[in-house]
Amino acid sequence: MVDISMEMGLVGLAAVVGLGIPIWKKYKTAILNKIGKKVDELEDVIEDKTGIDVEISDAVDDVLDKVVENAEELAEDFAEDGKVEADRLDSAVDEIKETVSDSADEVIDDIVEDLNENIEETLGNMTVSALRDMLKERDLPVSGRKAELIKRLLE
C-alpha cells in the first residue's frame, strides 16, 4: 500500500524541483556573488578582530561549486523520472563532505602558518629576559642567544 503523504511529498518535491531549476539557473550568478561578498566581509571582520589574514573565499567557492554541481545533477535526475537513487544521493553527500573537509584543512593550514609567522615576529620583538622567563615556565634551558631562545620556544 502506498503512503498518500509520501506520494504527496514526492509530487511537491517534483514541483519544487521543476520550478527550482529554472529559477536557480536565472539567479545563480547573483546568489553566488552575494555569498562571495558576505564571505569577503567575514574575512575582513576576522582580520580586524584577530590580525590573522584568512582566505576562506576559495574554500567557500570550492564547497559551493560541489554543492551546486551535485544539487543540479540530483534535480535533473529527479526531473527525468521522479526519483533519485539512494546510492547517488549518498555519493553526492560524500562528495560534498570530502570537499568541505579538504577545504577546511586548507584554511586551517593557512591560519596555522599565519599564526606561526606572527608568533615568530612577536617573540622576536620580546626582550631576552622575557624569553628566558617563558623558557623557565616551560622548564627549558635558558642559555643561548636570542635566536636560539626563540627557536627553543617554537619547538
The set of cell numbers assigned to 111 is: 591560519
Name every residue whose Cβ is closer than 8 Å to that of residue 73 and which is 6 or more positions away in sequence. 88, 92
Predicted model pTM: 0.57
What pLDDT score was predicted for residue 139? 94
The set of cell numbers assigned to 65 is: 561549486
For residues 82 and 79, what is the distance between their CA atoms, to the nearest angstrom?
Answer: 6
Percentage of the chain modeled with pLDDT above 90:
15
Residue 51 has φ and ψ, to the nearest 5°, of 80, 0
1 pLDDT tier (thresholds 50, 70, 90): very low
Between 26 and 14, the higher pLDDT residue = 26
118 pLDDT tier (thresholds 50, 70, 90): confident
Q: Under the phi-then-psi rule, with left for phi > 0, alpha for psi from -120 to 50, and beta for the rest, what region is 145?
A: beta
Over range 114-120, report the average pLDDT.
Answer: 79
What pLDDT score was predicted for residue 8? 53
Over range 16-36, report the average pLDDT.
Answer: 74
Over range 50-69, report the average pLDDT.
Answer: 82
For residues 14 and 81, what is the distance between their CA atoms, to the nearest angstrom?
Answer: 10
Give yes or no for a contact between 149 and 120, defined as CB atoms under 8 angstroms apart. Answer: no
